[in-house]
Chains A and B, each alone.
Chain A
Amino acid sequence: MLVSYNWLKDYVDLDLSAAELADKITKSGIEVEIVESLNKGITGVVVGHVLECVQHPNADKLRVCKVDLGEEEPVQIVCGAPNVAAGQKVPVAKVGAVLPGNFKIKKAKLRGEASNGMICSLTELGVEGKLVPKEYSSGIFVMPSDAEIGSDALAYLNLDDYVLELGLTPNRADCLNMLGVAYEVAAILNEELRLPEVQVEASGEKASDYVSVAVDAKEDNPYYGAMIIKNITIAPSPLWMQNRLIAAGIRPINNVVDITNYVLLEYGQPLHAFDYDRLGSKEILVRRAKDGEEMVTLDNAKRKLGTNHLVITNGKEPVAVAGVMGGATSEVQDDTTTVLLEAAYFEGIRVRAASKDLGLRSEASSRYEKGIDRNRVYDAAYRAASLMAQYAGGEVAQGVVEAGERLVSEGKAEVTQTRINTLLGTEIEGEQISDILKRLRFEFDVQGENYIVTVPTRRPDITIDADLVEEVGRIYGYDRIPTTYLLSEGRPGGLTPYQAARRKVMRYMEGTGLYQAVTYALTTTEKSNAFTFSEEQENVHSIKVSHPMSEERSTLRSTLIPQLLEVLKHNHHRSIDDVGIFEISSVFFAHEQSLSVLPEEKTYLSGALTGLWSIHPWQGEKKKIDFFVVKGILEGLFEELGLHSRITFEIESLPGMHPGRTAVMKLDSIVVGFIGQIHPGTQKEWDLNESYVFELDLDQLLGASVEPTVYQTLPRFPSITRDIAVVVDQNLPAGDLNTVIHEAGGELLKESSLFDLYEGERMEEGKKSLAFSLKYYDPERTLTDEEVTKAHENILRSLEERFGASLRK
């Protein structure tokens, strides 16, 4: 809502600047987003009287004018506007004047003729082109003949005004009109409120002789009123009205249309003026449109209507889409003499349906949608009729032809002084409460400490005690509410074990050198499940949003990896090729085609790594990221979570992954994630370098019960370490060997670690050699050489039996 500061002065005395007013309104609950000065830096523009206007001797399109600026001598000005003529009062920028954009007016010579100033158009004075009345859109602005020569033209044009742009929340539709704002401002400033005085002198004729009104859709249109104003002369509306419409962002058209718009702005009541003689009948029938019914609207567009839309008809065909736009045939034109003025209450839902379907949003439709004050319909209609009598020479026929209930009863709301003070934490006196309710112009009864308020229909947002608490609080002033601390006994706060563990995982991942990424949950259907590591994941359905804004953001993901690859790609395209990132986010699984219950949500920990891992160039150190770098990171994580000994890695071929360099990770026997190299084909599709990824079901990991840490006594006896190197088949996993070593080593074997892997030329084809360092220890005594040898030989024998391993010589 755009509020003219000058216009507001009609209703409330304002002894403060526009900026100060804006600050007070903001503090009391309606945010003033912008205070705009209509003077865009103009100085030196006065009212001039064109005394003489002749053709320029050397230029077809220029005129040479003598203009009286109220100074001793008239000045000569060369003007290019086609509509300049002798006898006009016009805005003139004198020599030395400044126009918007810091445009300075200087003495000039145009094609040999001296020009001492400039006659201005409205756009040259800073008015937006689309708001300039049509007749002046390609020329200078012509002012009323009574404008005083030499006086400041800005005042005449209301360019000394300020416009306050209100950011209205949905509950304050009452401030979508000047009177509503005036009520608000009067309450805030504790000032008197002057409402417009409306007097209509009706002629002898009755409106009901002209037209009958019927409504066939009461639930959409509870009230419809029509007035008849005849003997109208269509002309421009008075300058002050045009100025106010322009300030509110509405282009002046003619007196009748301007008056309906003006009253809309003033009362918030949409009105429509039909040319009575072009209605095509003497009846108004409001009904739902028929399926496929058509009409041409004011903007000359053919509109196809449906049963969801409400129309005004002449009994046969639609003449307006209710609350949205009038029809072209019954539009007020220059020769219109009799006007049928519609003042109705349409339900917002019905108006919204049409304005949405037809793509037409207007000042009127948006007000119906947000809710208007039904009890103001009459006031607005009479106000418009009286203005038409005054400014369009109209005669108002007696009465309003109407259908439906015009008035609704006012609601009641109650609140006690105690409730106000306990909810706000204040000590507001009863007298102050009464005073505030009076300032808001609410009628109320006081019974003890109970306030029974009759809520005016302009404020439908007030229904319960809390609403009244807010009204009292905001006028009292939120800055006067004290600062206190919660009375209730505080229990200690804290993170849940899961939340604490999740933070620990984040810190660990960061500590390994990975950066945390946060990516979008919505992606393409294809990417949403591009990576899976268990059958359960493959058997789920895509979760698509019903009207996606783009395919790129259409489906909820069930893997984080595609978005992480996007991040690698983004960085790769900027020559950032050494990247390690992780993300902890939700993924979504639907176990049914069409969701009847919420989908399953899990938290995944995923990562993507590419490029070099450790780089220390001047010492010649450069280590590429490979499978084992990533595996090492995860092994560290499992250790951190106390799960290390329960996790196994098993080679697996998974979609999009390198078949020989990908493993699933099992916790006990349950698959909890995967790790591996992106398949070279996938890598090429994504335009990446060699990349590695992992994905883990974090909920499973953090949900696993972990044995508490128990201290192990430090060794008191020496341990014995022996190495063992065996030759086995090349494709035998080292992990399998290790398992058997531990089985066979028995109690005494405490640790085994792989320290050498050889697959080179000196090895028989298809074989490899693995060397382990084995540590034997008994906490109770010193081991003898014989015991260790026995255990060691047992291991060798088992390896031989199980894998055909031979001792490497």
Chain B
Amino acid sequence: MQDRLQALKEEALLKIQQASDLKALQDIKVSYLGKKGPITEVLKGMGKLSPEERPVVGAYANEVRDAITSALELKISELEQAVIEEKLKKESIDVTLPGRPVRKGNAHPLTAVIEEIEDLFLTMGFTVAEGPEVETDYYNFEALNLPKDHPARDMQDSFFITEDILLRTQTSPVQARTMEKHHGRGPVKIISPGKVYRRDDDDATHSHQFMQIEGLVVDENVRLSDLKGVLETFAKKMFGEERKIRLRPSFFPFTEPSVEMDISCFKCGGKGCSICKHTGWIEILGAGMVHPNVLEMAGFDSKKYTGFAFGMGPERIAMLKYGIDDIRHFYTNDLRFLKQFKKA
């Protein structure tokens, strides 16, 4: 009887090995292990055996059954694996084909520059102040120490709407308005970005509409040396840690003393190149100590309070930073131009 089981086992294992699909394996399973299969048949004849032989043959029969079952399982998983691999092979793609584009726009380069500057001053404790683009003569000029017949008004030929209302020529009126709101009490620490307008013919370096960012600090004991500190921090963060700054005396009606700030050229490091017109220095902004008249007009005691103000042009900074050669690009909005500032 054992010989019979042995023969069945070998026969089944051989068939399993030769099977090439899942269907054949299923058939093998049914024919050998099914209720009508030969092993069951063999076991039915167990009654004829002596009580001593029975457990031995029974155990052997189970052994044979297990061997066939596990051989079947192994073969099935092998065949399944092969099917999956075949399927994946068919699914393979060309990974070098272009991906589905995700639409992504970006900020205008002037916005990018303004936000960068804003953020820089926000970390230094400034807030952002804004005001109207159409202004009164008082806030645009008079409150800034530019009375009606002041020759410096010529420096900023303006778009007047009425005798007393004009498009602001600078963002400084925001300073005057903010100081007024403080009712003579410091500290004031603001940065004010925005659009300004001057009667200039549009060309590569002039625009009748442009941006400005100004800063203002008013408090007790504010010194020119503090202005130097703030501007140096700004210059290094904006243009690189190795930048040096230089203050030159200048003139603005609303500051006294007034200065222009140059930074060492970021292109040539100060050796001289076309960007810095071979001077090693690039003019970046105008600044100064707030004129006592401006403080007094806004309600501050100029004996007790001092302050500094500075102003710069985002267009100029963007032009320097990105090497843009024509200011009109900012306002033409050619998509080929705008798209270049994705990582700005």
The residues of A with any CB-CB pair to B shorter than 8 Å are 26-29, 31, 169-172, 348-349, 369-370, 422-426, 464-467, 469-470, 473-474, 478-479, 481-488, 490-496, 499, 503, 506, 509-522, 543-549, 553, 556, 567, 570-571, 574, 576, 579-582, 585-586, 588, 594-596, 598-599, 601, 613-616, 618-619, 621
Contact = CB atoms under 8 A, between A and B. Distances in A.
Interface string B290-314: 0110000000000000100000000
17 contacts: A29-B250, A423-B224, A467-B256, A470-B257, A488-B222, A496-B127, A510-B106, A513-B104, A514-B105, A521-B195, A570-B333, A579-B335, A581-B105, A581-B335, A594-B162, A595-B162, A598-B165
B187 interface: yes
Given A484-B225, A491-B189, A615 B108 contact: no
B209 A521 contact: yes
B224 A570 contact: no
B221 A488 contact: yes
A209 to B, nearest CB: 41
B141 interface: no
Contacts of B201: 549
B189 A478 contact: no
A170 B221 contact: no
Given A510-B104, A510-B105, A512-B103, A482 B225 contact: yes
A48 to B, nearest CB: 37
B226 interface: yes
A425 B339 contact: no
Contact of A466 (B107, B125, B225, B292): B292
B290 to A, nearest CB: 9
A549 B256 CA distance: 34
Nearest to B155: A170
A313 to B, nearest CB: 27
Contacts of B228: 425, 481-484
Most chain B CB within 10 A, of A423, A513, A546, is at: A423
Nearest to A473: B257
- Band of interface residues on B: 35 or more
Given A483-B228, A486-B217, A486-B219, A518 B110 contact: yes
A327 B162 CA distance: 38
Interface of B: 97-98, 100-108, 110-111, 115, 118, 121-128, 130, 132-136, 149, 151-152, 154-155, 159-162, 165, 167, 186-187, 189, 195, 197, 199, 201, 208-209, 217, 219-226, 228-230, 232, 246-251, 256-260, 289, 291-292, 306, 330-336, 338-339
Nearest to B108: A516
A580 B103 CA distance: 10
A164 to B, nearest CB: 14
Given A520-B331, A553-B208, A618-B97, A169 B250 contact: yes
Contacts of A511: 104-105
Given A469-B289, A488-B220, A621-B100, 17 more contacts: A27-B248, A422-B223, A465-B292, A473-B224, A484-B228, A486-B229, A493-B123, A493-B124, A515-B338, A515-B339, A516-B108, A520-B331, A545-B159, A571-B333, A588-B134, A616-B100, A616-B101
Closest 4 CB pairs of A and B: A425-B225, A513-B103, A29-B249, A425-B223
A482 B228 CA distance: 8
Contacts of A470: 249, 256-258
Given A473-B224, A474-B257, A601-B132, A516 B106 contact: yes
Contacts of A520: 208-209, 331
B249 A478 contact: yes
Contact of B105 (A369, A474, A513, A519): A513
A570 B187 CA distance: 47
Nearest to A547: B160
A510 B107 contact: yes
Given A493-B124, A518-B110, A549-B208, A473 B221 contact: no
Contacts of A512: 103, 105
Contacts of A580: 103, 105
Most chain B CB within 10 A, of A466, A571, A598, is at: A466
A466 B289 contact: yes
A196 to B, nearest CB: 28
A629 B259 CA distance: 52
Most chain A CB within 10 A, of B115, B221, B246, B256, is at: B256
B335 A619 contact: no
Contacts of A490: 124-125, 189
Nearest to A168: B251
Contact of B330 (A29, A467, A518, A544): A518
B285 to A, nearest CB: 14
